[in-house]
Amino acid sequence: MREDKIMRTVRCRNDHQPGTLAQLLMSIAHFGAEIGEIRLIQETPRHIVRDITIYADDQEQLEQILQAMHANPGTSVMAVRDEVLELHQKGKIAIRSRYQVDNLYTLRRVYTPGVAEVCLRIAAEPELARQYTAIGHLVAIVTDGSAVLGLGDIGPVAGMPVMEGKAMLMETLVGLSGVPILLDTQDVDTIVETVAAIAPTFAAIQLEDISAPRCFEIERRLQTRLKIPVMHDDQHGTAVVTIAALTNACRQSGIDLFSARIGQIGLGAAGNAIGRMLVKHTGNPVLGADLSEDALRRFEADGNQRSTLQEIMANADIVIATTGVPGLIKPEMVRPGQIILALSNPVPEIDPEVAVAAGAAFAADGKSVNNVLGFPGILRGAVDAQALRISREMYLAAAQAIADLAPNDELVPNPLDKKVHQAVARAVARTAIQQGLAGNEFVPYAES
Residue 353 is predicted with a pLDDT of 93
Q: What percentage of residues in the chain have a pLDDT greater than 70?
A: 97
Q: Indicate the pLDDT class of residue 337, thresholds 50, 70 and 90.
A: very high
**Are residues 224 and 238 located together in one domain of the fold?**
no
Catalytic, 5? Answer: no
Over residues 182-205, the mean pLDDT reads 96
* pLDDT (average), residues 80-91: 78
> Could you tell me if 433 and 298 lie in one domain?
yes
The predicted structure's pLDDT at residue 121:
92
Lowest mean pLDDT among 151-165, 256-270, 430-444: 430-444
Looking at residues 193-204, what average pLDDT do you find? Answer: 96
Final residue of a structural domain among 71, 87, 103 = 87
Instruction: Assess contact for 251 and 364: CB atoms under 8 A.
Output: no
**Among candidate residues 171, 193, 228, the one where a domain is terminated:** 228
Residue 239 Cα to chain centre, angstroms: 12
The predicted structure's pLDDT at residue 440: 55
Residue 219's CB is within 10 A of a number of other CB atoms, namely 20
Same domain, 221 and 265: no
414 in any annotated domain: yes
User: How far is it, in rounded angstroms, from Cα 209 to Cα 237?
Assistant: 12
Do 281 and 257 fall into the same domain?
Answer: yes
302 domain-assigned: yes
Task: Select from 87, 122, 147 the last residue of a domain.
Answer: 87
Catalytic site includes residue 132: no
| Pair 304, 400 in one domain | yes
Share of the chain above pLDDT 90, in %: 65
| 136-191 pLDDT per residue, tens | 999 999 999 998 877 789 999 999 999 999 999 999 999 999 999 999 999 999 99
Whether pLDDT at 443 is above 70? no
Q: What is the pLDDT of residue 1?
A: 42
pLDDT value of position 4 = 64
Query: Which segment, 60-64, 347-351, 397-401, is predicted with the most confidence on average?
Result: 397-401
Does any domain span residue 127? no
106-115, 136-145, 392-401: which has the minimum mean pLDDT?
A: 106-115
The answer to whether residue 166 is domain-embedded is: yes
CATH number of domain containing 172: 3.40.50.10380
Catalytic member of 55, 166, 395, 445? 166
Report the CATH number that the domain containing residue 12 is assigned in CATH.
Answer: 3.30.70.260
pLDDT for 157: 94
Mean per-residue pLDDT over the chain, rounded: 90
Domain assignment present for 362:
yes
Of 90, 92, 111, 330, the catalytic one is 111
Q: What is the largest CA-CA distance in the chain?
A: 79
Co-location of 431 and 383 in the same domain? yes
Total number of domains in the chain: 3
For residue 86, CA distances in Å to 8, 89, 92, 157 come to 11, 5, 10, 18
| Closest alpha carbon to 294 in 397, 213, 190 | 213
d(CA 97, CA 202): 18
| Residue 97 placed within a domain | no
- Report pLDDT for 148: 87
Domain assignment of residue 439, yes or no:
yes
Nearest CA to 9 among 88, 89, 78, 81?
A: 81
Name the strands in the sheet holding 204-207, side by side, starting at the edge strand that comes first in the sequence: 177-182, 138-143, 204-207, 230-232
Residue 135 has pLDDT above 50, yes or no: yes
Could you tell me if 143 and 44 lie in one domain?
Answer: no
State whether 287 and 409 are in the same domain.
yes
For residue 442, pLDDT over 80 is answered with: no
pLDDT of the residue at 448? 37
CATH number at residue 382: 3.40.50.720
- Same-domain status, 213 and 243: no
The pLDDT of 394-419, averaged and rounded, is 93
278 and 165 assigned to the same domain: no
Residue 107 belongs to some domain of the structure: no
3-state secondary structure of 321: strand
* Domain range for 25: 6-87
329 has a pLDDT exceeding 70: yes
Residues 311 and 448 in one domain: yes
In sequence order, what are the residues at sequence separation of 6 or more whose Cβ sits closer than 8 angstroms to the Cβ of residue 12? Answer: 24, 49, 50, 51, 52, 69, 75, 76, 77, 78
Same domain, 15 and 65: yes
Q: How far apart are the first and last CA of the chain?
A: 29
